[in-house]
Amino acid sequence: MTLKSMTGFGRSSGVHGETSWHWEVRSVNGRGLELRFRMPSGLEGLEIKARSLAQEMLARGNCTLNLTLRREAGELAIRLNEAALNQALAAAKRAQGLTQLAAPGLDALLGMRGVVEVVEGEESEEAHAKLEDALLKGLGIALGQLVAARKAEGARLTTVMANQLSQIASLVERAASASARQPVAIMQRLSEQIARLIESSSGLDPERLHQEALLLAAKTDIQEELDRLRSHVTAAQDLLAQDQPVGRRLEFLAQEFNREANTICSKASDIEISRTGLELKTVIDQLREQVQNIE
């Protein structure tokens, strides 16, 4: 099973009757599903159906759907615009009265713009419905290609993120086994701190210093952060094995990864743990970049 990316492209073309059509669909990252249609006028009913189809096949992403149509020359009809002819006759009579010239002939009147119109035969509702059905099927093909492209990209991203999670798990175990976290090292560090404080001020109570040192050691312990990171790695690996949209949950986990790594860096009392924490942050940032593209 693989996840889907939100980046992809698809296209399809076809001919229906005297109309050739071409769909292009492309998508990029988005917080939700945003569909933007670019279609010729007169296809408002098709857009409603096309939007429903896209919502069935896509869960997230900013998607642009372009449709271009080209109509071949069909049957033409010559139509007389009687209103325009009457206006032309009235204008001709008025001009004759003003100039005393001969009245224009019929050929001159018919040659005036708008009096005679050449129009294409009107498309019946049934023919229009069949065209919309053909266009909708074409969109389904283009969306299918888009989904296939998103799956292919998702498979690549899944491999990348799986490797990053393995790196995070390895760094967590490195931090857990750091020499500075061993009981002997902790006790030695505390003893040295207490000894330095006693030497610098003879008025300090050794017992109180011992208690304060233990509190400081508890504050710098990173065991809880390491346990949570292990849990987050397991949860993220489980999500990678699914074939449904999990991008939002992965984004949340990536934020939690970053929070724990920041805490480890702030608590680090040893250069080894500090370096490991910085490496963790680097890998987690890389993981967050990939997660942003998951559906």
pLDDT digits (tens, 9 = 90+) for 259-269: 999 999 888 77
What confidence tier does 139 reach under pLDDT thresholds 50, 70, 90? very high
The position carrying tokens 């939690």 is: 256
Phi, psi values for residue 216, rounded to 5° = -65, -40
pLDDT in tens, 72-109: 755 545 667 778 778 878 877 777 777 877 777 777 76
Q: Which of 97-106, 127-136, 267-276 has the lowest mean pLDDT?
A: 97-106
Amino acid sitting at position 2: T
Query: Is pLDDT larger for residue 167 or for residue 223?
Result: 167
The pLDDT value recorded for residue 76 is 46
What are the structural domains, with CATH classification, of the chain? 8-73+126-150 (3.30.230.10), 76-120 (no CATH), 153-291 (1.20.140)
The CA distance from 275 to 230, in Å, is 19
> What residues does 12 pair with on adjacent strands?
23
Tell me: pLDDT of 283 over 70: yes
Q: Is 294 exposed, middle or buried (0-12, 13-18, 19+ CB in 10 A)?
A: buried
The pLDDT value recorded for residue 279 is 95
The pLDDT value recorded for residue 199 is 65
Q: Using only the alpha carbons of the chain, give its radius of gyration.
A: 37
Q: Is 119 exposed, middle or buried (0-12, 13-18, 19+ CB in 10 A)?
A: exposed
Cβ(11)–Cβ(23) below 8 Å: yes
Q: Which of 6-10, 105-109, 146-150, 255-259 has the lowest mean pLDDT?
A: 105-109
Q: What is the mean pLDDT of residues 141-152?
A: 96
**Cα 50 from chain centroid?**
19
Q: How confident is the prediction for the chain on average, in pLDDT?
A: 83
Q: Which of 42-46, 60-64, 132-136, 193-197 has the lowest mean pLDDT?
A: 193-197
Q: Name the nearest CA neighbour of 142 among 59, 243, 47, 53.
A: 53
Q: What is the mean pLDDT of residues 56-78?
A: 82
The pLDDT value recorded for residue 179 is 65
pLDDT in tens, 230-262: 999 999 999 999 888 999 999 999 999 999 999
Q: What is the mean pLDDT of residues 270-291?
A: 92
The dihedral region occupied by 10, where left means phi > 0, alpha psi between -120 and 50, and beta the remainder, is beta
Instruction: Give this prediction's pTM.
Output: 0.70
The CA distance from 219 to 50, in Å, is 58
The pLDDT value recorded for residue 235 is 96
Q: What is the mean pLDDT of residues 261-286?
A: 90
